[in-house]
A = this chain, B = another copy of it.
Amino acid sequence: MLLLRRCHRLTRLGPLNTQRHQAAPAVASCAVRLRSGGSSEDQRSYQHAHGPSWRQALAGVLAGTGAVLAYGLHHHKAEQVDTIEKASALRIFTQEEVTGHRSLEDGVWVTYKGAVYDITEFVAMHPGGDKILLAAGGDLEPFWALYAVHKQEHVLEILAEYKIGELRAEDLKKQQSVKSSDPYSSDPERHPALRINSLKPFNAEPPPEILTDSYITPSAIFFKRNHLPVPQVDPDSYRLHVEGLPGGALTLSLKELKTRFPKHTVTATLQCAGNRRSEMNKVKQVKGLNWGIAAISNATWSGARLRDVLLAAGYGPDVAKRACHVQFEGLDKDVTGTTYGASIPLNKAVSEEGDVLLAYEMNGEDLPADHGYPVRVVVPGTVGARNVKWLGKIIVSAEESSSHWQQNDYKGFSPATDWDTVDFKSAPAIQELPIQSAITVPADGTAVDRSSEEVTVKGYAWSGGGREVVRVDVSLDGGKTWQVAQLRSSDKDQAPEASPPPGRAWAWKLWEITAPLPAEAQELEIVCKAVDNSYNMQPDTVAPIWNLRGVLSNAWHRVKVKIREDESEE
């Protein structure tokens, strides 16, 4: 068998004992404690702790793309077993038996291409966190269709370690008759210029050198960050549900959203929490998509103000006494029906100065499919992850969203925190992002001619929370000396937008500087750092802000450029 053959190639083999699923494994890097509940002989004699330390160890990355890159990093402490035992150990299981193993207490079994796996021990090591439990008792195929990154040889090798037998032939036949279609088959076409970080779900960024060619990023090259397949939403039957307010549930059609509420337009920059993650990966590998510097873009958004919709649904000052959060649910969902979700603080949602939109237009046109058609939330100044696309439901609540992405992802930690020690409850969900800037031109590793005598450096700068960028300093010598760049807040041929009111600077600034080439230098280390109007500044280096999820990567940006001496000289 293919899997078996792969299995033989593994240098460190996991347990493949048929009795293993009835034994008491020491779950790697998880606290294991006996629970007080009685356990009969029919039940498994061990139970895994479900307290905070267990949850911590499961602390997740986005289930899916990029995460698997980190498999190699992860402790893999399964015991060595004698490979000779394997072949004789394989048993035949019914689908019913597999379905009976859907929890850490009962064991976590899955099937894949007719084989049965007990992955109980692996759960704590899954780079995608506890989302793996959604597959428990069933077949992996539909999940891997959703998170295509799993279809790699080393993932199959890891899986092979946990094989305990084969699925009964007639159950396999039944399984195969339910053809799982590709959930991404109806994803839209994308612009070929995009640099793709993952195809399924689709995640891509524009080339940096074109990013700052336009103050308003054209929608086609605006960075795409999807967690799930793009849902197909019929605008006529689309309904937005608003819950948790004294007025009772409010349901709005797209037409009602557009006509009942004034249309409000905001130019706002969105940035992924993982922008510039690749620089953290160079320090020490992290989990997540390996974004460059262009998981940030700027657009003009139009829609109803969330504030107005909440007022229409009965929001009043009394609500703030019991509720602190506004949750959003997307219409994008995984095979279990779990939707993407996030929340923002209520005060941001209802503030007249918060400018939170239920946007139905981007850059003057209907939202593109990749950006949330027909309606998305735009939360200016706030991390991309809270700007929920394909918005289905709004819930005003005392609690933050319980979604994986709010609770166990998109949070920042100390460089000292690793996957064994991380406590996701100890850090706040990222909302406002810190001061950021990067150099888009010239690109790292390129060269400038000595004869050109000057070098032009361009980039972007932005800060979260509506804090306006007030200065960008640029160095050509690695940070020893600095020059102040020119800032602009419009396209060059247009008048600059009016200065934003205090605390409402939602859009980035583009910057540029043309400086003489230093006479002596053979190479330039170009560095930029920005300052916002709270005078927050970027940290100098990456290592001290490194964190296990590779988020909030906002150290000075550095590119090295060679100076090519003019050969015609002399």
Contact = CB atoms under 8 A, between A and B. Distances in A.
Report copies per complex: 2
A468 B345 CA distance: 14
Interface in A181-220: none
A435 B435 CA distance: 12
A384 to B, nearest CB: 14
Interface residues of A, number: 49
A262 interface: no
A539 interface: yes
Contacts of A531: 412
A78 B414 CA distance: 54
A540 B544 contact: yes
Contacts of A467: 432
A483 B537 contact: no
Contacts of A434: 534-537
- Please report whether the interface of chain A is mostly helix, strand, loop or mixed according to DSSP: loop
Contact of A540 (B345, B428, B540): B540
Given A430-B535, A539-B538, A502 B347 contact: yes
B428 A470 contact: yes
Interface in A485-514: 501-503
A482 B414 contact: yes
Contacts of A412: 471, 531, 535
Contact of A415 (B347, B430, B473, B533): B473
A427 interface: yes
A414 B471 contact: yes
A535 B414 contact: no
A552 B538 contact: no
A440 to B, nearest CB: 21
A545 B537 contact: yes
Nearest to A504: B347
A477 to B, nearest CB: 12
* Most chain B CB atoms below 10 A, which of A428, A533, A534: A534
A470 B552 CA distance: 14
A484 interface: yes
Interface in A388-418: 412-417
Nearest to A552: B535
Interface in A148-165: none
A544 B541 CA distance: 12
A479 B540 CA distance: 12
Contact of A416 (B430, B473, B529, B539): B473
A568 interface: no
Interface string A522-552: 0000000101011111111100110000001
A107 interface: no
A19 interface: no
A229 interface: no
A479 B544 contact: yes
Interface in A411-441: 412-417, 427-428, 430-435
A11 interface: no
A415 B108 CA distance: 59
Given A415-B482, A434-B536, 16 more contacts: A345-B503, A412-B535, A414-B473, A415-B473, A416-B473, A416-B483, A428-B468, A428-B533, A430-B535, A431-B533, A432-B534, A435-B536, A482-B544, A534-B536, A536-B536, A537-B539
7 contacts: A348-B502, A415-B482, A417-B484, A432-B467, A435-B536, A464-B534, A465-B534
Top 4 A-B residue pairs of the complex, sorted by shortest distance between their CB atoms? A540-B540, A432-B534, A434-B536, A345-B502
